[in-house]
A and B are shown apart, each in its own frame.
Chain A
Amino acid sequence: MFGKVLVANRGEIALRIIRTCRELGIRTVAVYSTADEDSAAVRAADEAVRIGPGPAKSSYLYPPAIIEAALRTGAQAVHPGYGFLSEDPDFAEICVQNGLVFIGPRPEVLARLGDKVGAREIMRRAGLPVVPGSERAVSTAAEVQATAKRIGLPVIVKAAMGGGGKGMAVVRRWEDLLPVFRTTRATARSAFGDDRVYLERFWESARHVEVQVLADEHGNVVHLGERDCSVQRRHQKLVEESPAPGLPPALRAWLLDATVQAAAAVGYTGAGTFEFLVNGDEAAFIEVNCRIQVEHPVTEAVTGIDLVAEQLRVAAGLPLTVSQDSVRPKGVAVECRINAEDPDHDFRPCPGELTEFVAPGGPFVRVDTHAHPGWRISPYYDSLLAKVIVWAPDRAAALARMGRALEELRIAGPGVRTNRKLLMDLLSDPDFRAGTHDTSLLRA
């Protein structure tokens, strides 16, 4: 196992990774920007290196600074968390070139799966059904129109290198097709440095179901069950749960099995998530997330498996501690993402200083957060403030527990607003309570 690991991230996930490292006796190095001085991760780590100014492109997205920090502190491995450089094959390659272990899939696997349009083709060949759409990137107006005609409206235009809910737009009317294609391409170029886009049939009412896998370098590939992430606002997940409510047992068994086979087929290693859209008895692959995910605690709660600990083991060349037979999910876990967003202004992020932050507690409640009174929510990064995760033997009890936990949560500060009320309202939504909701639930 590693003696020292550098955590190339910030916020709650940096803290979460540091915590597992400490439990495993691994020393940690936090890196931080000037906007994150004195953050919870910096305090929790054994060492910290200031790597740049607030804007992520000069700090958390700047490989030279991170590599320098790792080399000077003698870290052996780099855990990229989620977002930032976590799925960047070039960064993974640079780590390797500098004698550092990148905690994630191999660079070539990252490159193949990071290209979403290429990944569709790989998965189709590996035997997974894919959502009807373009077989390759579409680059001309004629191609876009022909493809949209073939698959039918509505379609969703997606950036090939997109992720995190960014760089995608739905088209419902023919006259919107080309303008949306052009703007999505421009967004893709600026946000991901690659303007290739592709089309997929847009399913108005589908469930977003994803399968968590773990794979090591010894040929072991296991799934840790599925998560349902159908509660989304503008393609951003808000509530995640496991198991997926109402998923037909036969479809579930097939999805889990097919995912394990596909992961093995692409030589996947580490923790990864295969995302699907489910429509009735039909499921279709959308993409692979080659990293730990925001919602991983839901899976940890039902399986009792520490995903970050397994990531570290795999990266160190050790076998997984779990076999498929030993994975026995139990009960129901639900996660709510608490974002610093203004519900009165279309949920735009609202930075500011927290004067009050009281996390919920009590039985079977986990809160992953970097927030504390006095913490200044920075305008440079995403608005995720805390994740509240609850577990209960069944879904009704889990939702009741989540309601209780959200009532306990207190967040205040000048100008700081959160989506807490939206989440509380959601808990009493009849469709959501019945587990019959789909991704259209919060569509305005």
Chain B
Amino acid sequence: MNEARESTADDDDPGAVAVRHTMEVLNRSLADTLRAASRPPARARVAYGPASIEVEWPVSTVDGVVPVAPAPAEPEPDEGLVAVTAPLVGTFYHAPEPGAEPFVAVGAEVAAGQQVGIVEAMKLMNPVVAATPGRVARVVAADNEPVEYGQPLILLTPLAEG
């Protein structure tokens, strides 16, 4: 019932030109989609085979597209903050191992791509990284707390890139 949309062209496919053309069309409409959007996507995928574009938008920035589980509201101080959210359902850890220093503390500056925590799912440790640079304003999810996909974990005050 779910079409996986990945596909590759056969190397010996004489329709390589058609493939290239399809990809060009897909890329163009992806570019159009992104231009029309107000914010960057979390992920984009272009496929060939039953032609397809998938754009995944970030789930929860604090200006709040998706209302997330009762994160104790405090709406005012959160103004302008950016949430680092859980990349998958699992258990959130502040530190690389029990008793170790947490990855980040309130007030710390983090760079884009920097690890700020771990979500463990099925015994696999998945790094949680900041998508954008910022200063840690608040750590909203407790250490060892079960979290759902997209749940805010850490709030950052955005800093200019670089």
Contact = CB atoms under 8 A, between A and B. Distances in A.
A191 to B, nearest CB: 5
A64 B122 contact: yes
Nearest to B69: A50
Contact of B149 (A57, A65, A67): A65
Interface of B: 1-10, 13, 42, 49-50, 54, 56, 59, 66-67, 69, 88-91, 121-122, 124, 146, 148-151
Nearest to B12: A182
Contacts of B66: 34, 37
Interface of A: 33-34, 37, 49-65, 67-69, 72, 82-84, 98, 164, 166, 182, 186-187, 189-193, 381-382
Given A34-B66, A186-B8, A50 B89 contact: yes
A187 B50 CA distance: 9
18 contacts: A49-B148, A50-B149, A50-B150, A53-B149, A55-B54, A56-B2, A64-B121, A67-B122, A68-B89, A83-B2, A186-B7, A186-B9, A186-B10, A190-B4, A191-B3, A193-B4, A381-B2, A382-B2
A68 B90 contact: yes
Nearest to B1: A83
Contact of B56 (A53, A82, A166, A381): A53
A288 B1 CA distance: 16
A164 B89 contact: no
Nearest to A61: B2
A239 to B, nearest CB: 18
Given A34-B149, A52-B89, A64-B90, 8 more contacts: A34-B150, A50-B148, A53-B42, A63-B122, A65-B149, A68-B89, A182-B10, A187-B49
B30 to A, nearest CB: 15
Contacts of B89: 49-52, 65, 68-69
B146 A72 contact: yes
Contacts of A189: 7-8
A34 B6 contact: no
B148 A190 contact: no
B114 to A, nearest CB: 23
B148 A187 contact: no
A9 to B, nearest CB: 10
A84 B2 contact: yes
B37 to A, nearest CB: 16
A7 to B, nearest CB: 15
A54 B122 CA distance: 21
Nearest to A52: B149
Contacts of A82: 1
Nearest to A190: B7
A180 to B, nearest CB: 13
Nearest to B49: A190
B141 to A, nearest CB: 14
A163 B103 CA distance: 46
A51 B149 contact: yes
Nearest to B42: A53
A106 B4 CA distance: 25
Which 6 interchain pairs have the tightest Cβ spacing? A83-B1, A190-B7, A50-B148, A64-B122, A56-B2, A382-B1
A54 B148 contact: no
B59 A190 contact: no
A178 B66 CA distance: 48
A233 to B, nearest CB: 15
A62 B122 CA distance: 12
Contact of B88 (A61, A65, A182, A187): A65
- Scoring B2, B5, B42, B59 by chain A CB atoms within 10 A of each residue's CB, the highest score goes to B2
A380 to B, nearest CB: 8
Given A53-B59, A69-B89, A64 B124 contact: yes
A187 to B, nearest CB: 7
A33 B59 CA distance: 11
Contacts of A182: 10, 13
A58 B49 CA distance: 20
Contact of B1 (A59, A164, A192): A164
A84 B49 CA distance: 20
Given A69-B89, A191-B4, A51 B148 contact: yes
Contacts of B90: 64, 68
Contacts of B8: 186, 189-190
Contacts of A60: 2
Contacts of B91: 72
A35 to B, nearest CB: 10
Nearest to B58: A53
A402 to B, nearest CB: 24
B4 A57 contact: yes
B6 A190 contact: yes
A191 B49 CA distance: 10
Contacts of B5: 190
Nearest to B124: A64
Interface hub of B5, B88, B89 (most chain A Cβ within 10 A): B89
Question: Which of B13, B91, B121, B148 is most buried by chain A, counting CB atoms within 10 A of its CB?
Answer: B148
Contact of A34 (B13, B54, B59, B121): B59
Contacts of A191: 3-4
Contacts of B67: 37
